[in-house]
Each structure stands twice: as structure tokens, then as C-alpha cells.
Amino acid sequence: LGCGGPVLLRFRISALALASQSGDRGCRTAPCTELAKPLLLRDLPAPPLQPHQELNVCPLLLRVYVGIHFCGLIFADILACRGLYQDRHTPPFTPGTEPLGSVMETGENVSAVKEGNRVISVTGSKAVAAECVVDEKVRTEHLFSQITEEFHLSVQGFSPTFPLFILPLPPRETVLVMAGAWATGLAIIDLAVNMFQAKVTTAAGSDPKHELALTSGSSHRVNYNQGSLREEVKALTGDRGVNVAIGGDIFKAALQSLAWEGRIVVMGFARGKIPSIPTNLLLLKNVSAMGVYWGQYQQEDFPLFSSTISSALQYCQEKKIHPHIGAVFKLEEVDEAFNHVLQRKSTGKVIISMK
């Protein structure tokens, strides 16, 4: 490995005792101590690097101490702190699923990474903190020199790329992207236009967000607060409809906007309302509906998970796609970051900086 090159870690966060075995080093974190309440900054003892005795039975377990530089904020973090996410966490817990940082220290049996290597991964929690200990197998990926652009292509940046790789998406198909100015929407537009030569229509609720989506490569825009999404899409596609719709919040209208044998991809529900599928609409146009719970692929199909991340990182390094960072908040501003997203002010990726 080249020193300092980012590495993709396949890991899970361990339940760690707070008593530190790493000297007097402390760790600043923003735990959720009570659901639906503000996060409170705390300085906790650094978690121990040495494995617990019960972990010694598995020789593949590795432990790596990561100093976190940035953590991407996703809507699931906010839902988790309100007790509304499908993966429930019991307080106290630290939110944050997409850390990027540098290896500070490794266990005796770790050989795949070394001190100073930059690492990127997806976790279930724990990343809104200055440091964390990770374990499990380490898988190396492409090495790059840049750290800022790569990072925010994690869960919300990478997850929209996933359906584009597995649908499949033939060149020059038409794609409807809901919430096109958020991190997920902008990443889909960027990848669909620049790597799959797709013609993208963006659905958003305000003109400024439309302008950002158009700048990112969208060909057309539809304001779903000012008219019928279905009728607008029909007019733009010569009454055919779009081949693919990606999103979740305006599901029925998007489903009605599909062409014959169209595909609709469900990735989340940022407004909190989970719609039902009118199955007769699937039948009438031979439509396919698929869900993408992207993070679960880390456990179920890690080779596909990691190859998707590799491809997105490579496209970014080659300047074929151009991720958009909308806002950066300091760790002590984490509640302001949450409110920024909840009030629908965010565009592009929102990042928590530990620096």
C-alpha cells in the first residue's frame, strides 16, 4: 500500500468498554443520550485497541484505531436519533455511518493497513466522533491522493450509484430523479449523465434547487409543487414516460410516470411517509419495482459493495463525476447540521468536520 492512500475497510464497530488501554488519549464525541433530544458533546476515554478475550477465537478479526477527519451526515442518522430508523439503536449511542480518516494505530496482527493510511468505510454508527476502533477483515481498494472529493461519495453519494450498476441502465435511457438537489439526487444525476449517457429529468420543489440540478447535468426540470409530475413527464417524453425513476417521497406520481417496462427504485423516504405500491400500476405497464438498502450489501455481497465504491472513487479521481459538498459543519455544530437537513435547506452533501 502506498502510504496515505485511502483504503476501503469492511468492518463493524465493536461494543467497547470506555476504559482506555491507549494511554491518556481522550475522544471527543457527540452521543445521543436520549431520543429526540439535542446531542451533547462529550470527551470520553479513548476506546481500547486490544481485542477482548472473546474475540481471540476468530483469527480473522483485526482491530484498527482510526482518527476521523470527516463524517458524512445522512438522513438515517437523524432518524436513528429520533428512534425512527429501521435499525434501532438504544441510547446512549453515537450516530454517524460514513467516516473518513487516517489509521492512528493497529493491532499486532493487522497487516493490510498501517499507520497513516487513509481509510473510508460505512458503519452502522459511531462516526460522529474524533476517533473509533474498527475490526473485521480489511479489504484494499484503489489508492488515490485526494481526500476531500472521495469522502462524501460514501453512503448518500455511493448508494445512488448502486442501482445504476445493477439495473442495468443502457446508454441514453431516460431517468427521473426525485429530490434532485439533495446529495443522493445530485450524485445520481452526475453518474447517470456522465457515465451512462442517460437523459435526466429532475423533480424538485423549488427553483433554486432546480438550477443546481441543471448545473449538474439534468436536461429537464419538474416542480412537483406547481403541477402534475405525471403530465409534465409525459410532455417531456412524447407521452412515453421515463425508463427509470429513482427516489421515494413522491412514489405514486413517479410510478405513473414510467414507460412500458420501466423500473422504479426505492431508496428511502426523507419526508417520513412510507407509501404503498398500487400493484395494478405494475401490471398495466409491466413495471418493475426494486428496493435498494445499499448498506446491507456490505454484509450480504461485499464484493459487489466494494466494487461499486471502487468504481465511484475511480470516476471521481478521473474527474468524470463531480461530487457536490453543500455544507460543512464542525463537530460542535452537529445539531445545527441536523436542523439544516430537517428544514430542507441542504443541497448536496452535508459533512461534519472533526478538524
Q: Which residue has the higher pLDDT, 166 or 69?
A: 69
Residues 264 and 289: beta-carbon distance below 8 Å: yes
Please tell me the predicted confidence (pLDDT) of residue 272. Answer: 64
| Number of residues that this document lists for the chain | 355
* Least trusted range by pLDDT, from 71-85, 254-268, 269-283, 318-332: 269-283
Q: Pairing state of beta strands 98-106 and 63-73?
A: antiparallel
- C-alpha–C-alpha distance, residues 272 and 252, integer Å: 15
Which of 219, 231, 226, 6 has its CA nearest to residue 101? 6
Helix axes 183-196, 207-215, angle to 10 degrees: 30
Among 8-12, 68-72, 254-258, 282-286, the minimum mean pLDDT is found in 8-12
Lowest-confidence region among 40-54, 74-88, 263-277, 295-309: 40-54
pLDDT at 48: 63
Over residues 208-230, the mean pLDDT reads 88
pLDDT at 18 (0 to 100): 30
Model confidence pTM above 0.85: no
Instruction: Note the pLDDT of residue 267.
Output: 81
State pLDDT tens for residues 106-125.
Answer: 877 777 778 888 877 777 78
Q: Does domain 160-291 have CATH number 3.30.310.40?
A: no
350 or 248, which is more confident? 350
Q: Which set of grid coordinates corresponds to residue 231?
A: 403530465
- Integer Cα distance of 242 and 214 in angstroms: 18
- Nearest to 171, CA basis, from 198, 200, 201, 199: 198
Give 170-217 pLDDT, tens digit per residue: 888 999 998 888 888 888 899 899 989 999 999 887 778 778 888 889
Widest distance between CA atoms in the chain: 68
Q: So what's the architecture of 7-153+322-353 in CATH?
A: Alpha-Beta Complex (3.90)
pLDDT higher than 70, residue 136: no
Question: What are the boundaries of each domain within the chain?
Answer: 7-153+322-353, 160-291
- The proportion of the chain whose per-residue pLDDT surpasses 70, expressed as a percent, equals 79
Top pLDDT among 277 and 35 is at: 35
